[in-house]
């Protein structure tokens, strides 16, 4: 009886751990740096993603190369639904920090509306690479590499 109880407890612990790691296997934190171009202006952009379960936060900041005083600095919270490597993301809240002096309409010329306004959706393919970094794709076009900064387990 005692041995059977021990086996059942051990098996339950293994199953619980397996379920937990599978649930959190898609969690990640990463950073991407890129340049966005529109007409005669370019913006240097930094994106810091933190994804946990079915939600996440992006810290997005950057500045104009032509006029470094034009700055954006935002935090975007979002919900996430995954189907394989395809991610349906909806922005929930978009917070502008005090040093952000770029109008939403200007920023939306460089970035998808998901990054600028609350309640906007985007489909992104996120492919984990062999080196544990992530390739982000829009419309099957590789857009940027996000370097993994997750804590190792």
Q: Could you read off the pLDDT of 33-72 as tens digits, one per residue?
A: 999 888 888 999 999 999 999 999 999 999 999 999 999 9
**pLDDT tens figures, 13-41:** 555 444 444 444 689 999 999 998 888 88
| Residue percentage of the chain with pLDDT more than 90 | 72
At residue 33, the 3 state secondary structure works out as strand
Lookup: tokens for 77: 């919270």
User: What pTM was estimated for this model as a whole?
Assistant: 0.80
Question: What does the pLDDT read at residue 4?
Answer: 65
How distant, in Å, are the alpha carbons of 92, 124, 125, 131, 138 from that of 128? 25, 13, 10, 8, 15
Q: Which of 120, 122, 107 is nearest to 62 (CA)?
A: 107
User: Average pLDDT in the 132-141 region?
Assistant: 93
């Amino acid at each position: 009886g005692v041995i059977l109880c021990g086996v059942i407890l051990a098996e339950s612990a293994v199953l619980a751990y397996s379920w937990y790691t599978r649930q959190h296997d898609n969690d990640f934190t990463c950073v991407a740096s890129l340049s966005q171009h529109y007409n005669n202006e370019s913006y240097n952009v930094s994106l810091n993603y933190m994804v946990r379960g079915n939600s996440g936060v992006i810290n997005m900041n950057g500045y104009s190369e032509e006029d470094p005083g034009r700055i954006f600095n935002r935090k975007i919270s979002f919900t996430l639904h995954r189907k394989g490597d395809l991610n349906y993301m909806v922005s929930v809240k978009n917070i502008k920090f005090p040093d952000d002096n770029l109008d939403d309409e200007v920023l939306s010329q460089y970035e998808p509306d998901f990054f600028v306004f609350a309640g906007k959706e985007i489909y992104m393919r996120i492919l984990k690479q062999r080196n544990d970094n992530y390739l982000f794709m829009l419309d099957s076009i590789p857009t940027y590499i996000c370097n993994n900064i997750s804590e190792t387990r």
